[in-house]
Structure 1
Amino acid sequence: MKTVLVPTDFNLESTKIIDALVQAQPLETLNVIFLHAFKLSDSISDMLMLSRRSRDYENVSDEFYQKLNDYKKRYAHQINNIGIEYFYGSTVSAFKNFIEAFDVDCIAYPKDYNFKALNKYSIDPKFLTERSGCEVIYLNIMTIHVHESLIESRIPESQLKESNA
């Protein structure tokens, strides 16, 4: 099982990386963690309330959660879990501890990744991820081909006539 960390600003477009991960790692069972990083505030009251950061989960829309659930159902054979985590800190050593705690194998970015802050404490995770020593992969989410079944099942007309008789 492989754990992949995906930095995000929780826009719906960022969930498309799941398609790319599944195609890039066809033989792996995956745990996917969507991550947003915040620097720690200098305020003592903010530091004391760090464990009560439920307000940060307000940044994640219901549509984002629904999209993650849809992906988990679509790739149930390959995705074990999809989660959301926040990293609070700004040092590489703290980020390494975070990666170790979640047993992260690699960090995945879309090739056209652009950091978007959620608030004034958001930090660009590239500073941390590139120095973490963890493998970083860049995936093209624009060329993903999702296989759909285009076979339509119909009841033959002869059976319809028999059932109506």
Structure 2
Amino acid sequence: MFAKKLKKMRKILIPTDFTVESLQLVEYAILNYPDTKLDIKLIAGYKLPDTRWGITHFNEREQIRKQFTDDFEKAKRRIVLEHKNTIQTFSFELFTGVNSFAFQNFLEQIDAEYAIVPKKETLNCPNKKWFDATSYIKKNVKNVIEVPVDVSEEITEKKFSLINLFNL
């Protein structure tokens, strides 16, 4: 009886742009590892400030918290509450490096071998300080699963792209 309650733990990296759509990957992890405790780590890329003052006043948690919208926070809370028996931990990490070597060091620190990423480039980074860490994950994590993600029109529409200018 005791052996059945014991579940193995799996640490899974998931890239995020702090949209509700990016949380679909968390739900995929929950559905596909039903008998496993999950340590979910949502990863976002962030370019560190380039001034001494900016670096000394940089606060990772504050930068992450600024990206939370009410919808994202509600969706995250709903997932955690609905799957509290499966999700052991749910956290956010910033990757602040600039190459694969830095990402490999980052992976060593968080000790993760599994990742779930969107099949196509669907992450929409909010400004030039943020970047999609998916390509680093694909190149450096041992076990990567690519999943199609449904994206709302608001996210995929690029209002000021050259393609849209020609369609007017």
- What TM-score comes out, normalization by structure 1 length? 0.74
Please give the alpha-carbon distance, in whole angstroms, between the structure 2 residues aligned to 1:52 and 1:15.
20
Give the secondary structure class of the aligned counterpart of 2:29: helix
Would the aligned equivalents of 2:24 and 2:149 in 1 still touch at CA under 8 Å?
A: yes
Q: How does 1:48-127 map to 2 (within 5 A)?
A: 48-51=56-59, 54-127=62-135
Q: Which amino acid aligns with 1:114?
A: T
Using the TM superposition, give the Cα deviation of residue 6 of structure 1 relative to its aligned residue in structure 2, in angstroms. 0.8
Deviations 1:50-87 (A, max 9, x none): 34661442111233222222111211221111112211
Relative to structure 1, the CA distance from residue 133 to residue 81 in structure 2 (aligned partners, 3 Å threshold; closer, same or farther) is closer
Would the aligned equivalents of 2:113 and 2:141 in 1 still touch at CA under 8 Å?
A: no
Relative to structure 1, the CA distance from residue 61 to residue 129 in structure 2 (aligned partners, 3 Å threshold; closer, same or farther) is same
Using the TM superposition, give the Cα deviation of residue 110 of structure 1 relative to its aligned residue in structure 2, in angstroms. 2.7
Q: CA RMSD in A?
A: 2.1
Aligned to 1:138: 146
Counterpart pick for 2:23 among 11, 15, 20? 15
Query: How many residue pairs get matched?
Result: 142
Give the secondary structure class of the aligned counterpart of 1:50: coil
Using the TM superposition, give the Cα deviation of residue 36 of structure 1 relative to its aligned residue in structure 2, in angstroms. 0.9
Would the aligned equivalents of 2:95 and 2:133 in 1 still touch at CA under 8 Å?
A: no
Give the secondary structure class of the aligned counterpart of 1:71: helix
Would the aligned equivalents of 1:33 and 1:84 in 2 still touch at CA under 8 Å?
A: yes
- For structure 1, the residue ranges without an aligned partner over 5 or more in a row are 143-165
Aligned to 1:162: none
Using the TM superposition, give the Cα deviation of residue 141 of structure 1 relative to its aligned residue in structure 2, in angstroms. 4.9
Please give the alpha-carbon distance, in whole angstroms, between the structure 1 residues aligned to 2:93 and 2:62.
12
Percent identity of equivalent pairs: 23
Which structure has the larger Rg over C-alpha atoms?
A: 1
- What TM-score comes out, normalization by structure 2 length? 0.73
Deviations 1:92-146 (A, max 9, x none): 122122222222121211334413122212223133222224322112456xxxx
